[in-house]
Amino acid sequence: MNPFSSGTRLRDMIRAIRACKTAAEERAVVRKECAAIRAAISENDPDYRHRNLAKLMFIHMLGYPTHFGQMECLKLIASAGFPEKRIGYLGLMLLLDERQEVLMLVTNSLKQDLNHSNQYIVGLALCALGNICSAEMARDLAPEVERLLQTRDPNIKKKAALCSIRIIRKVPDLAENFMGPASSLLKEKHHGVLIAGVQLCTDLCKASTIALEYLRKNCTEGLVRILRDVSNSPYAPEYDIAGITDPFLHIRVLRLMRMLGQGDADSSEYMNDILAQVATKTESNKNAGNAILYECVETIMGIEATSGLRVLAINILGRFLSNRDNNIRYVALNMLMKAVTVDSQAVQRHRTTILECVKDSDASIRKRALELVFLLVNDTNVKSLTKELIDHLEVSDQEFKGDLTAKICSIVEKFSQEKLWYIDQMCKVLSLAGNHVKDDVWHALIVMISNAPDLQGYAVRSLYKAFRTSNEQESLVRVTVWCIGEYGEMLVNNVGVLEMEEPMTVTESDAVDVVEVALQHHSSDITTRAMSLVALLKLSSRFPPTSERIREIVMQHKGNVELELQQRSLEFNSIIQRHPNIKSSLVERMPVLDESAYIGKRAGSSQATLSADKSSQTTSSGPSSLKLPNGVTKPPAAPLMDLLDLSSDDAPVSTSSTTDFLHDLLGGDSISPGVAPSGGAGTDILMDLLSIGSPSAPTDVLVPNAISSKQGNAPEPKIAPAPVMDLLDGLPSREENPVYPSITAFESSTLKITFSFTKQPGNLQATVIQATFTNLSSSAYTDFIFQAAVPKFIQLQLDPASSSTLPANGSGTITQMLTVTNSQHGQKALAMRIRMAYKVNDQDKLEQGQINNFPRGL
């Protein structure tokens, strides 16, 4: 024996591996074995080839590389003995990839074996072909397989039928060759052949409409007969599973019937009777019986069945829902979800049972049931369903709360007919599961409250009450703090009390207490604290007597480690102490937030782009269209401009500092206002209010100076306007500049990016680029991130994107603003490398490219 060949037998190796105590030991054993096998391979030792390959398969299962054994598979397949061939084919299926070149070499051996006289060798070859067949092999070997479909041996026949499925999947053109043989398989008696034959027919229907028509014409009758025979047949122990005769055949036949009956009234009509028989007669106390019923229901929903039959089907599902077996409930929910689109009325009847399933102990059932309930909600049942769901929120598992909260919130938002109800429900959700409420949901609540002047008092009182009972829920705390800051006097003076409200007395210091609790609470994060500080500042103006106390609370944070809080604390202190004359105008109530703009933003979709386009149109058409009192042109869809206009109207004294203060006041999330906030927050309207529209505008106008320069002096109105006007005028005066054509910066099969350009007036080097991203594929992208790199002579600034989700099929876009400053303007052209990272179905994708086709002169 060759001294280098591995002397150990397969089971010795397995035992050695099993004896390993640590992963390192196991690796050492495997390494040694692999080395021995490699040596044997290079020795070309035929005696132990198949033993070595068997070892390799075991090693492969453990996750070690085994590519060096691939050629050995081919050698074994080519050898004459049956055991060698068997191991060879097994290795071929496990170790090789259909994309590998090596596979080309095996086609010839396969062909020979398919024509072999030994039926077991033919079986091995068919099995291998069915597992790894490539398009090329399919074309080469289809005639052999077709011939084998007509042999007498049932074992070969059924394997050939399934092998044909693989061939058709690889090369759909071949489907028509298999129609005839496939339909004759349905006349067989052997059960394995029947199952395989029915499966082949199902795949043929998927692959080609010609085959579908052919089979519909020739096989519908035969199928009905098979189903009748099998469901009426007496006890046949061989294919019996738990007392049901041959459930697999049942299921396959029902499935093929669905393919044939779909959209075809005649064949559906023909199937009605037998389907009704299966649906009523099948026993439902065993899993196998339920599997048949389940398939039968799906077929009834899929074909053009009579309405009576459909009701029967949905009632079967209703019965499933009250079954004690988790699996049955799970599939029933799955199916009801599909049935909702077909017949929602019938599904509605089982609403209470479905609602019970939301409370199930099994997480996957709960999740399904919740999705189904979501589909069932309509205007008439929304109130009772929401109540049930919210009641359940109280007792549900911690990990389920996230899903449940998200669904309740979207139901409440989608179906709220009256704002009062919406506020009530949101209050409940916030106080029960505020930590699970997403940012955009509570932002929407704030926007809504700001738009409902007659309910503001009620809202702030409800929130106050809710806060007194639970102050651990982050988003409840934030909304409460915001509302008390804005509408604190409504809380104290009981403004706008509704009839059903219980009277309550809240003093000014009670209101301050609440905000103080929020500010000092250990679980409050920096955003909540920053919001609390702003609320306190506002309260100091609303309730002058508490002013001194508030100043003390605010000053406690003058040494805070968080720069943002420290800065706010110091600035607010200075406002309260030294600038009583401007304070009241600074802390004016927020202007009504633009609801529709917010909804548009949130959708992050084409709407946003549309309005952006509109704004550029109006601006280029000149400032004539929209005039505001102070003569500043206002692009319509920019709430920011509203805000600035309003403030400059209200407080003309110190326009520049007002913008900055607003900047700060609103700065819930933005830690450092000068730097553009990062990606994810892009949908946030509060952020939008802050991030002053065009990035190159002087956002850092005198942040510290705003206060210091005015200390002691009366505010001078004339200092500031210049930069502010600049800021506001930046967009409209664009028409003087040359217009640059938009370009398609990047296009692949899945993604398209277009750039449109605008120049800042008087600054030839800077260009603002609006990038628009469109998804050309059929699945949505999430966590979309765009990155860009430029040569050294260019500076680049990226603003946050409008969204991080990109809907499929170009049904929405993301827009993102880039500002580039070309320091060698006129000498060198722009150039950029870009990279887009995103997730499709949770899989990371990366695309990159280079853009050289920028218009000249940028």
Contact flag: residue 155 with another protein (CB under 8 A): yes
Name the residue type at position 800: P
Contact flag: residue 10 with another protein (CB under 8 A): yes
Which of 114, 162, 185, 224 contacts another protein by CB under 8 A?
162
Query: Which part of the chain contacts another protein (CB under 8 A), choosing from 33-41, 87-95, 222-230, 449-457?
Result: 87-95
Residues that contact another protein, how many (by CB under 8 A): 78
Residues whose CB is less than 8 angstroms from the CB of residue 418 and which lie 6 or more positions away in sequence, other chains included: none
Q: Minimum distance between the CB of residue 102 and another protein, rounded to whole angstroms?
A: 13
* Stretch 678-707 residues interacting with another protein (CB under 8 A): none
CB neighbours of residue 778 within 10 Å: 9
Contact flag: residue 239 with another protein (CB under 8 A): yes
CA distance 76 to 84: 5
Name the residue type at position 186: L
Which of 79, 107, 112, 131 contacts another protein by CB under 8 A?
131
CA distance 277 to 228: 9
Query: Which part of the chain contacts another protein (CB under 8 A), choosing from 162-170, 268-276, 520-528, 621-629?
Result: 162-170
Strand order in 794-798's β-sheet?
743-747, 751-760, 763-775, 813-822, 794-798
Nearer to another protein, 752 or 839 (CB): 839
Contact flag: residue 246 with another protein (CB under 8 A): yes
What Rg do the C-alpha atoms of the chain give, in angstroms? 36
CA distances from 395 to 47, 310, 391, 433 (A): 68, 36, 8, 11
Q: Which SS3 state, helix, strand or coil, does residue 513 take? A: helix
Q: Minimum distance between the CB of residue 842 and another protein, rounded to whole angstroms?
A: 5
CA distance 251 to 296: 8
Nearer to another protein, 331 or 685 (CB): 331
Query: Which part of the chain contacts another protein (CB under 8 A), choosing from 239-247, 272-280, 578-586, 732-740?
Result: 239-247
**Burial label, 745 (beta-carbon count in 10 A; 0-12, 13-18, 19+):** buried
Q: Minimum distance between the CB of residue 471 and another protein, rounded to whole angstroms?
A: 33
Q: Minimum distance between the CB of residue 498 and another protein, rounded to whole angstroms?
A: 45
* Stretch 35-54 residues interacting with another protein (CB under 8 A): 47, 50-51, 54
Contact flag: residue 256 with another protein (CB under 8 A): no
Contact flag: residue 99 with another protein (CB under 8 A): yes
CA distance 770 to 790: 16
Q: What is the DSSP string of 829-845?
A: ---EEEEEEEEETTEEE
Nearer to another protein, 35 or 62 (CB): 62
Q: Minimum distance between the CB of residue 251 and another protein, rounded to whole angstroms?
A: 5
* Stretch 356-385 residues interacting with another protein (CB under 8 A): 361-365
CA distance 9 to 188: 45
Nearer to another protein, 128 or 389 (CB): 128
CA distance 839 to 829: 33
CA distance 450 to 490: 13
CA distance 119 to 113: 9
Q: What is the DSSP string of 68-84?
A: GGHHHHHHHHHSS-HHH
Nearer to another protein, 284 or 630 (CB): 284
Contact flag: residue 294 with another protein (CB under 8 A): yes
* Stretch 759-788 residues interacting with another protein (CB under 8 A): 779
* Stretch 167-226 residues interacting with another protein (CB under 8 A): 191-192, 195-196, 199
Write each residue from 805 to 844 as x if it is in contact with another protein (CB under 8 A), else as -, in one continuous string.
------------------------------------xx--
Q: Minimum distance between the CB of residue 679 and another protein, rounded to whole angstroms?
A: 23
Nearer to another protein, 47 or 394 (CB): 47
Nearer to another protein, 110 or 448 (CB): 110
Q: Using an 8 Å Cβ cutoff, are 575 and 586 in contact?
A: yes
Which of 36, 52, 56, 130 contacts another protein by CB under 8 A?
130
Segment holding 160, helix H or strand E: helix 154-170
* Stretch 296-355 residues interacting with another protein (CB under 8 A): 326-331, 334
Which of 262, 272, 287, 742 contacts another protein by CB under 8 A?
287
Nearer to another protein, 260 or 463 (CB): 260
Q: Which SS3 state, helix, strand or coil, does residue 798 take? A: strand
Q: What is the 3-state secondary structure (H, E, C) of 353-386?
A: HHHHHHCCCCHHHHHHHHHHHHHHCCCCCHHHHH
Contact flag: residue 290 with another protein (CB under 8 A): yes
C-alpha closest to that of 642 among 705, 593, 677: 593
